[in-house]
Structure formats: C-alpha cells, structure tokens
Amino acid sequence: MYQFGTHTTYQGYIRYNCGAVLMMSLLLLAVVLCSLMTGSAGLGLTDVFLALAGKGSSMAETVLWNVRLPRICTAVAVGIALSLAGCMMQNVLRNPLASSSTLGVSQGASFGAAFAIVFLDAGLYAESSFFTFSQSWLITLCAFAGGLCTTAVILGLSRLAGVSPAGMILAGVALSSLFMGGTAIIQYYADDIKVASVVYWTFGDLGRTGFGRTGIIFLASLLAFVFFYCNCWNYNALESGSNTAKSLGVQVDRLVVATMVAATLIASVAVAFVGTISFVGLVAPHISRFFVGNNYRFLLPCSALMGAIIMVMAELVSRTAVSPSILPIGALTSFLGAPVFLYMIFKKGGVK
C-alpha cells in the first residue's frame, strides 16, 4: 500500500495522489472505449467516434446508442454508487468487510423492490416515458425502505449492543438470509409475469436499463458524493477512532447516521434499477487504498472510478464471453468478489 512516508514533501504526496486519480480516469476512459468497440458488430475506434458524433453508419449508430452505450453508462453509474456506498460503510462502521452486499443492504433493497412489483403492481416501466417516474420511484422507495431497515439494525447492533466488526458481518449474513427468504415467499405467491420480474432483480442485469434510469443513479450518486467529499476531513478523523474524532470536534453520531442513510440510498437506487450486484462495493475501495491510502480526499474519487472500471469490465465480459448470449452481471461480480472476500476474512487481522 502507498505510504506518505515515501515522499519527502507534502507537495509530492499531493502530486502522487492526483496522478493516481488521473490515471484511473484515463483507465476508465480506455475501458469504456474498448467496451464500445467490442462485440459482434465489430466497430472500430473511428466508427465509434463517428457514431457518437451522429455521422456514422445507421448500423453503427443503432448498435452504439441502443445497445452498448446504455449498458455501459449504467455500468459506470452502478459501479460509482456501489463503491461509494461500500467505501463509506467501511469507514463509519470501522469494518473493512462492510459493503451493501455483505451487510444485507442490497438484499433488503431487493426484498423491497420485489414487494413493490408483486403487491403494489409497480412493474417495469417503459423507458420511452422519461418524465413518468411513478412506477420507477415506487420501486426505488420500497427498495430504499428495505435497505434502510437493514441499516437501522446494523447501526443498532453497532452502537447500542456494542457488537464487534466481525459480529456485524455475521448479522449482515443473517439479515441477508432473512430477506432472501422473504423474497422467495413473495415469488411463491406471485404470478408468472411478476415472478419473472422479481428474478430479474436477483440476477442483476444491465440489459433493461436506459438513459432515464441511468440519470437517476448518476444524480443520486453525485449528491451523495458531494456530501461525502464535504466531510472528507471528518472521515479522515474517524480513521483514528471515534474518541479521537470527537476530540477534534466531529459530531460522530450525526455523521454516522447521515452517512449510512446516504450510502443506503445510492445502493438501494442502484439495486432498484439493475438488481443485486455483489461485492463491487467491497472490492473497489480496497483496491483504491492500495494506491492512495486512507485519505478520503483521494480515496472517494478513486473508489468511484475503480467501481466504474470493475463494472464496465464485468459488462464487457458478460456480453462477449458466450456471445450471443449475455451472462447475468451479478454472477460475474460475485466470481470476482467472493475470492477477495475470503482472502480478507483469512488475512491476518482482517476481521478484528
């Protein structure tokens, strides 16, 4: 992991971390361009730029604007949302294994979305009606409520019962099982069409998204990022412990609650639109820490960029691995995240 001590000046430290953010930005751009070019249509770099400018062939513009670009934009938005949520949960809960998936927030949000689909008839809406958000927001609000219930339990265990970081992960596993069982019961009593819609959430898929839903995820993530970044010095203080942060004037209790609510919101919005995507929020912040350490001035943007990179790469693999079939992206991120999760559990001091 990068350490400030490798530089003799603070200016060198700032330059290094700014360079890391820039390199991740360029890497994300390269991965996006690669994904735009890769596929059965065989578009070249020139074809992509011409299609983006509206001067390409009709085939290239159709493939780009109707198939690849919506999926890639959604992948970027979801990666940013989940990685920001995971990064902040790890900070305020003082737990390196915390994320929306390991704490049960994603599963709670999926349960809320399933409840809205089956019992409130809030099925998937037509993307063409961009300004008709009633059904979309109903699913999102129910997903947020489900994720918030999990957050309330985790915060209660952390602050009232004094549960250890490892205990919180076990509580998250229990809550995940509870919500998954509830989702299964909902599916049992639903008709075939609604069951198919609920299964969509459990798989995790980018294929039924569009620019309208992607804009909602981006907006929620942007607002959350602004809030997180304005408090980056408070999060840096929390890295030294709650008592140290309080001695420096940080209102720890308010900060923890507000941060968890904001993190739950963006994770729930992402789940409500694309389904359960596991482990991205766990993996991306830790990869970013390897490059920039725990300074949240740089860790926040790096985590967001790394989450977007992981999601775009997963989208590319899901679309091309067994072409013309498309693999569920949730399964691919689980293949990536599960080994990392096991490594962190057995790593010395990983769950203390």
Q: Is the residue at 126 inside a domain? A: yes
Does some domain include residue 93? Answer: yes
pLDDT for the residue 130 = 37
Residue 350 has pLDDT above 80, yes or no: no
Q: Please report the pLDDT score of residue 85 as a whole number.
A: 94
At 203, the pLDDT band (50, 70, 90 cuts) reads: confident
User: Which residues, other chains included, contact 143 with Cβ-Cβ below 8 Å and sequence gap of 6+?
Assistant: 109, 110, 112, 113, 116, 268, 269, 271, 272
Instruction: Tell me whether residue 351 is in a domain.
Output: no
- What integer is the mean pLDDT of 177-192? 87
Domain-located, residue 19: yes
What local confidence, expressed as pLDDT, does residue 232 receive? 93
Residue 352 belongs to some domain of the structure? no
- The CATH number linked to 219 is 1.10.3470.10
Answer whether residue 279 is part of any domain.
yes
pLDDT at 285 over 70: yes
CB of 275 within 8 A of CB of 203? yes
pLDDT value of residue 4: 45
Q: Quick check: 209 pLDDT over 80?
A: no
- Per the domain annotation, does 136 fall within a domain? yes
Domain count across the chain: 1
Q: Is residue 99 part of a domain?
A: yes
Full DSSP string of 167-234: HHHHHHHHHHHHHHHHHHHHHHTS-HHHHHHHHHHHH--STT--HHHHHHHHHHHHHHHHHHHHTHHH
pLDDT-based confidence at 305, cuts 50/70/90?
very high
Q: Structural domain of residue 321, as residue ranges?
A: 4-346
Of all residues in the chain, the percent with pLDDT exceeding 70 is: 88
What percentage of the chain carries pLDDT values higher than 90? Answer: 23
List pLDDT tens digits, range 75-125.
999 999 999 999 999 998 888 888 888 888 888 888 888 888 888 877 644
Q: Which residue in the block uniquely carries the two structure tokens 């205990």?
A: 167
Mean pLDDT computed over every residue of the chain: 82
* Global pTM value: 0.86
